[in-house]
Amino acid sequence: MILGSGDIGLIMARRLTLEGVEVVGVFEIMPYANGLNRNIVQCLHDFDIPLHLSTTIVEIHGAHRVDKVTVAPVNAALQPQLDRAWEVVCDTVLVAIGLIPENELSQQMRLRLDPVTRGPVVTSTMECTRDGVFACGNVVHIHDLVDFVSAEAALAGFSAGQYVNGTLPRPDNVRLQPGDNVAYCVPHTISTEREHTVYLRARRPLDACTLQLRDATGTRVYEKRLRYVFPAEMVNLRLRPAILQHFHGDVLRIDLIARVEA
Ligand SMILES: Cc1cc2nc3c(=O)[nH]c(=O)nc-3n(C[C@H](O)[C@H](O)[C@H](O)COP(=O)(O)OP(=O)(O)OC[C@H]3O[C@@H](n4cnc5c(N)ncnc54)[C@H](O)[C@@H]3O)c2cc1C
């Protein structure tokens, strides 16, 4: 059995099946699968592997190796409902409940870490809280697509070159603050003078929603309609100086809000 329906759990379900293992099911504590839709279809549906949502493991049984597992549905507060628990016979449990950045080096360098991403806090040039230290990719936050890693890497490399040449742009003047339904955003600060790509993740899935930027007084600075947001799919937002030219202040809050269609 596999615990966790992120992309790795889903891909492992398919790989194990292809290697001749019977996967009895993927069990997910959230009420929705956390992997990309194409992986849900290609890794589970195509192989008839059941997906049990709002369900988690409460006990693993076995003396020398696993022989069964007790699972239970969870309520809205994610608490297992033990009176509705049931048993699954299996000999292996594969735990795939999330990736975190390798942050040993960041910790050794005493870089400030974001408690949500577990990676270093970075400016718009990908510089960390220590002068001349730049970071990019999965050490900063876990990416689902390597294309975004490449873009971040190009920016971090370019910025490190500017640092060496003494041509790094002026420090950022705006702090980004994750608001409604936003788990985190990277970078953590931006400059109103330059163009930026901001990456963020939703906390919960939403259909037809709006991404809004608001200043500290609550005034809307920018708005963008999105067809949907999903925690497994990083949202990327291109911010041009023209968008920010009327903005005054030093904090911008990012919200993802459900859209009520007329
Ligand atoms: C299972 C899985 C499937 C994926 N599938 C896809 C996909 O189909 N398409 C896609 O676009 N993206 C996919 N991704 C995402 C993509 O692979 C990653 O986002 C990308 O590889 C991250 O690149 P990175 O260079 O930041 O980190 P990594 O690729 O993890 O590279 C980091 C490297 O640094 C090394 N390292 C770590 N610590 C040290 C140290 N102290 N000193 C020296 N070296 C060190 C590591 O050994 C590793 O080689 C997948 C990710 C996973 C986990």
Ligand 1 center to 219 CA (angstroms): 39
Q: Tell me where in the chain the CATH 2.60.40 domain(s) lie.
A: 172-262
- Assign 199 to helix, strand or coil: strand
The CA distance from 70 to 245, in Å, is 57
Atom of ligand 1 nearest to the CA of 137: 26
Mutate to test the pocket of ligand 1, among 5, 102, 118, 138 (most ligand atoms within 8 A of CB): 138
The CA distance from 128 to 121, in Å, is 6
Q: Is the CB–ligand 1 distance for residue 143 below 6 Å?
A: yes
Cβ-Cβ contacts under 8 Å for 186 (sequence gap 6 or more): 114, 117, 119, 122, 140, 141, 198, 199, 200
Of 2.60.120, 3.30.70, 2.60.40, 1.10.3470, the CATH number of 172-262 is 2.60.40
Closest Cα to atom 29 of ligand 1 = 138
Q: Please report which confidence band the pLDDT of residue 15 belongs to, taking 50, 70 and 90 as the band edges.
A: very high
Residue carrying structure tokens 């947001």: 229
The CA distance from 33 to 58, in Å, is 19
The mean pLDDT value of the chain amounts to 95
Q: Tell me where in the chain the CATH 3.50.50.60 domain(s) lie.
A: 2-95
Q: Is the CB–ligand 1 distance for residue 177 below 6 Å?
A: no
- For the chain, the residue count is 262
Q: Please report which confidence band the pLDDT of residue 147 belongs to, taking 50, 70 and 90 as the band edges.
A: very high
Closest Cα to atom 45 of ligand 1 = 102
Contact 239, 42 (CB under 8 A): no
Ligand 1 center to 183 CA (angstroms): 22
Instruction: Give the model confidence (pLDDT) of 47-96 as tens digits.
Output: 999 999 999 999 999 999 999 999 999 999 999 999 999 999 999 999 99
Instruction: Give the model confidence (pLDDT) of 196-245 as tens digits.
Output: 999 999 999 999 999 999 998 888 999 999 999 998 899 999 999 888 87
Q: Which of 100-109, 127-136, 245-254 has the lowest mean pLDDT?
A: 245-254
pLDDT tops 80 at residue 261: no
Q: Please report which confidence band the pLDDT of residue 262 belongs to, taking 50, 70 and 90 as the band edges.
A: low
Which architecture, in CATH terms, is 2-95? 3-Layer(bba) Sandwich (3.50)
Which two tokens mark 211?
């991404």
Atom of ligand 1 nearest to the CA of 143: 19
- Assign 155 to helix, strand or coil: helix
Q: Is the CB–ligand 1 distance for residue 145 below 6 Å?
A: yes
Q: Please report which confidence band the pLDDT of residue 172 belongs to, taking 50, 70 and 90 as the band edges.
A: very high
The CA distance from 104 to 94, in Å, is 25
Closest Cα to atom 20 of ligand 1 = 146
